[in-house]
Amino acid sequence: MNVVASPRSRTRLAAASFALAAASALIASPRAASAFCRTTTVPVVADFQPSTTKCWDQGVPLFWRNSCVGYSVQKSASRQVAFEDAANGISRAFTKWTGASCPTEGTGRSRVSIDVRDLGPVDCGEVNYNQNGANQNVIVFRDATWPHSDSNNTLALTTVTFNPETGEIYDADMEVNTHDQRVTLTDPVPPDGYDFASIVTHETGHFLGLAHSGDNRATMFANYTPGATAMRNLTADDVAGVCSVYRPDGARAVLNGKVTPGPQCDPTPRRGYTGDCAEPAKKSCGGSSQVAASNAAALGSPGWMALGLALAGVLALRRSRR
């Protein structure tokens, strides 16, 4: 089913849903007073919408265990966004999240316990997690074609691979749709253009484990206005969200504290780093949901699974795939 909204000047950010490669426990995640939401290991039902008082609370929330995470930009970049502009813009987007200051139990404030580092350009532009060897958390631009459904309405898609029992993120890959969409770096942003900084700031929030917020002012809110730039900058709700995932004390608030922190700082992707592509481990099948960004393909190992989170365009919610 492809759900179509009436044409208007606001875009919709599709929420996350996914295909299970293994059974997952339904564990309610704690909910703070803020409107932010965390992505979890259990699919969001089709009619669910986040609000200022309600998030999808089934499953385990996602998180990166290590205090450092690495990513790479594909060296070919885009006709619309040159490599240097892309690398700089993505770095600034991540820094807005990793530089967030959180309240502490004392009178001071402290930075979130996550850092994200650019590991340099790579040749590989495939969205894939290699369970048997080295990986890269790659960010790519799709100039030639958009390989997913509803290309006219999708701006970007982040695919996250994780442990379905703990919620630990193993891999994250981001795709930007420069084939069908006008992505711009200019100020002011054209009325029919999509601000690159806004797109990647939202998607880097998904990369870190955040879902859509019920706060209509937040960077992680599910609607975006073409030509606008407000989503470049985090709101108090966005900061509260990233602080809940990556507390200043280094703890990861999942499974009643049973998940131990990772190394102090190691941005190397799981199972090592490479700039080359591995053999694909995913197969696709069909399916859709109104609020689903993407139902990720079933994966080869029963111990992990993936989901996609998309920024959708003007006319329609993104059709999901399973």
8-state DSSP, 53: T
| Contact (Cβ atoms closer than 8 angstroms) between residue 7 and residue 315 | yes
Residues in the chain, pLDDT under 70: 1-33, 106-108, 260-263, 279-306, 308, 310-322
So what's the pLDDT on residue 305? 66
Residue 25 maps to a domain: yes
Number of domains making up the chain: 1
Q: What is the pLDDT of residues 237-287, one digit of tens each?
A: 999 999 999 998 888 878 777 776 666 789 999 999 999 987 654 432 222
Residue 71 maps to a domain: yes
Residue 98 maps to a domain: yes
Containing structural domain, residue 53: 11-312
Residue 286 maps to a domain: yes
Torsion 69-89-140-59 (CA) sign? positive
The encoded tokens of residue 48 equal 């669910």
Residue 3 maps to a domain: no
Residue 4 maps to a domain: no
Q: Give the whole-angstrom CA distance, residue 137 versus residue 70.
A: 7
Residue whose C-alpha is closest to residue 25's, from 306, 208, 255: 255
The domain that contains 286 carries what CATH number? 3.40.390.10
Residue 304 maps to a domain: yes
Q: What is the pTM of this model?
A: 0.80
